[in-house]
Amino acid sequence: MSELRIRQEPSGDRREHTGVVKGDRVEVVIDAGSGSRTYEVVATRAGRRVEVSVGRGVVEVSEVTRGGTTVRTARFMASRILALVEHPAQRAAEPDDA
């Protein structure tokens, strides 16, 4: 399994992020012709997150800082992707959680 560490400037923050999100990760399985290859994009430091965007046949998976600056980006052709699995980081319990 190959590991990619990525950063990129997001087009817009779609999720509300508060606190530490270290551990946020996305697994991408692609068709490599003679088999499949698995890539994992991981938020490597506290306060970073992983975002996925799709457009024009390309899927971009980016590691983004708390301030919205892209650190790394991995791009995949959408037609080659067999699976894309998002593993969100555990968030701290909120006072209103049951």
pLDDT at residue 16 in the model: 46
pTM: 0.67
Domain ranges of the chain: 2-87
Band of pLDDT at residue 90, cut at 50, 70 and 90: confident
Whether residue 70 contacts residue 12, with contact meaning beta carbons closer than 8 Å, is answered with no
Write a three-state SS string for 55-76.
Answer: ECCEEEEEEECCCCCEEEEEEE
Whether residue 58 contacts residue 30, with contact meaning beta carbons closer than 8 Å, is answered with no
Strands 25-31 and 2-4 come out as: unpaired
Could you list the beta-strand ranges (E) of 5-91. Answer: 25-31, 36-42, 49-55, 58-64, 70-77, 81-87
Write out pLDDT tens, residues 29-54: 999 889 999 999 988 888 888 999 99
